[in-house]
Amino acid sequence: MPELQPNTPDPPYDLISLEPQASQATGRSPTKLTQTLKWAAHPNPPLPIPIITADTTDPPSLHRLCTQTKLILNCVGPFRLYGEPVVAACAQTGCDYLDICGEPEFMERMEAKYHDRAVEAGSLVISACGFDSVPAEFGLMFNSRQWVDPALPNRVEAYVSLESEKRIVGNFGTFESAVLGVANADKLQELRRSRPRKPRPAIPGPPPPKGPTIEQQKDIGLWAVKLPSADAIVVRRTLGVLTETLVVFLGAMRVQNTLKKEKPSGQQ
């Protein structure tokens, strides 16, 4: 892996979010962003967060955006519709990229198209950094660390229970992403067939059973329904990257008083 170099000498912002919850807010409508910032801060006055105008249909605006920061957090989905121009701009300029995507076809297509370019530019591109992929990955990591080396689990089951004082509501963007994912499932399979098949880590023992769609989990006292999410795919992709580039990721696996930053390049 090449050593990463700063993408600009001194970008004015450390983080730019394509949602108004960071040091910099970006979108195509400054008026709507201003209204959203007021709503988010209510009943307090809104924070003096700078606003930059950028549009996924305007590549030069995305390029200017990427040169003004070290990291972009993209929260605008469905990512199959709006995400690629942002990834392309980051991979071209060397700006790091995070998103909250849960769309396997988008994640794998971005890796296929922009991995080499991101490596050359020193851009770190990571998808699936939101709920519920992050709890799934941390849960697997925590579970694995409870075993005495060289023993490891060959199966990990994860359960999610939501509790809130307020009514839990869904997000239309999440619903739209799910509908488009089902409608374009054939494109994911076509993409996978077109790429060289990566070897998976060998897991000893028989394959785990698929289990029922609905079950009563007596250990935690809840009924459980299989969640049709991308979590399993996200976890397997992470394990695949760790297996292929283990040395590069050692810094991220250490837990000490201070964490030394060892940052790989390319797509995850």
Q: Please state which of the four CATH numbers 3.40.50.720, 3.20.10.10, 3.10.310.10, 3.40.50.620 is assigned to the domain occupying 16-130+245-267.
A: 3.40.50.720
pLDDT digits (tens, 9 = 90+) for 238-263: 877 777 765 444 444 444 333 344 44
pLDDT digits (tens, 9 = 90+) for 142-188: 888 888 877 777 778 888 887 778 777 777 777 788 888 888 888 88
Listed in order, the ranges of the chain carrying CATH 3.40.50.720 are 16-130+245-267
pLDDT digits (tens, 9 = 90+) for 62-97: 999 999 888 999 988 899 999 999 999 999 999 999
pLDDT digits (tens, 9 = 90+) for 4-22: 344 445 676 555 666 544 4
Q: Rounded mean pLDDT of 108-113?
A: 94
Q: Is the peptide bond before 219 cis (omega within 30 degrees of 0)?
A: no
What pLDDT, on the 0 to 100 scale, is given for residue 206? 77
- Mean pLDDT, the chain, rounded, equals 78
